Amino acid sequence: SFKDSNDDGIGDLRGITSKVDYLAELGITAIWMNPINNSPLADFGYDVSDYRSIDPMYGNFSDLKELIDALHAKDLKILVDFVPNHSSDEHEWFTKSVNREGNYTNYYVWKDAKVVENAKTVPNNWQAVFTNSAWEWNEKRQQYYLHQFLAEQPDLNYRDPNLVNEMQEIVKFWYNLGVDGLRVDAVKYLAEDEQFRDEPLKDPTLPVSMFNVDHKYRENQPLTYQIIKDWNQIVKNLASADGKDRVMLQEVYDNVTIMNSYSGGVEYPFSICLNGDIIYALTKGMTARDFTRHVQSWLDAVPQGSPPNFLVSNHDNNRVVSKLGKEMADTINMILAVLPGIMVSYYGEELGMEDAYVTWEQTKDPSGLRLGKEHYLERSRDPARSPMQWDDTVNSGFCSANCTPWLPLSTDFWSVNVAAQKAAKKSHLKVYQSLMRLRKSSTFQSEKTQYQINATDDSIMGVLRWADDDKKYLLIANFNTNWTKPLNSTFINIFKLNNITTFTVYCSSINSGYDDGQKITVSENMILRPQSAVILQNFQSAASSIIVSSFLLCISLSIAVMFRLSEDHLFC
Could you count the other beta carbons within 10 Å of the beta carbon of residue 502?
14
Return the number of other C-beta atoms located less than 10 Å from residue 541's C-beta.
13
Rounded to 5 degrees, φ, ψ at 316 are -105, 0
Residue 396 lies in a domain: no
CATH number at residue 464: 2.60.40.1180
pLDDT of residue 539: 85
Whether 508 maps to a domain, the answer reads: yes
**C-beta separation of 340 from 347 below 8 A:** no
Instruction: Count structural domains, the chain.
Output: 2
**Whole-number pLDDT of residue 542:** 52
Which residues are within 8 A (CB) of 548 and not within 5 positions of it... i.e. 6 or more apart? Answer: 425, 426, 430, 516
Domain boundary (104, 119, 146) is at 146
Within-domain flag for 37: no
Res 348: pLDDT: 98
Domain end position, chosen among 146, 163, 187: 146
Cβ(329)–Cβ(352) below 8 Å: yes
Does residue 24 sit in helix, strand or coil?
helix
Write the DSSP assignment of 138-175 as a string of letters.
ETTTTEEEE-SS-TTSPBB-TTSHHHHHHHHHHHHHHH
Q: What CA–CA distance (Å, rounded) separates 286 from 65?
A: 43
Please state, in angstroms and as integers, the Cα–Cα distance from residue 443 to each residue in 309, 449, 464, 565, following that order. Answer: 18, 6, 11, 15
**CATH code for position 133:** 3.90.400.10
Amino acid identity, residue 360? W
Catalytic residues: 185, 251
In this structure, which amino acid lies at residue 440?
A: K
Asked if 112 contacts 123 with a C-beta cutoff of 8 angstroms, the reply is yes
Is the residue at 516 inside a domain? yes
The pLDDT value given to residue 397:
98
Rounded CA separation 253/167 (Å): 22
- Does any domain span residue 103? yes
Please tell me the pTM assigned to this model: 0.94
Question: Which of 146, 180, 209 represents a domain boundary (last residue)?
Answer: 146
Residue 296: inside a domain:
no
In a domain? residue 153: no
Q: What is the DSSP letter of 249?
A: E
Task: Return the pLDDT at 566.
Answer: 58
- The verdict on residue 119 lying in a domain is yes
**Dist CA 116 CA 94 (whole Å):** 28
Q: What is the pLDDT along the chain (572 residues), one digit of tens a residue?
A: 999 999 999 999 999 999 999 999 999 999 999 999 999 999 999 999 999 999 999 999 999 999 999 999 999 999 999 999 999 999 999 999 999 999 999 999 999 999 998 899 999 999 999 878 999 999 999 999 999 999 999 999 999 999 999 999 999 999 999 999 999 999 999 999 999 999 999 999 999 999 999 999 999 999 999 999 999 999 999 999 999 999 999 999 999 999 999 999 999 999 999 999 999 999 999 999 999 999 999 999 999 999 999 999 999 999 999 999 999 999 999 999 999 999 999 999 999 999 999 999 999 998 899 899 999 999 999 999 999 999 999 999 999 999 999 999 999 999 999 999 999 999 999 999 999 999 999 999 999 999 999 999 999 999 999 998 789 999 999 999 999 999 999 999 999 999 999 999 999 999 999 999 999 999 999 999 999 999 999 986 654 433 322 222 333 333 333 344 457 777 88
Q: For 299, phi and psi rounded to 5 degrees?
A: -60, -35
Residue 97: give the domain boundaries: 92-146
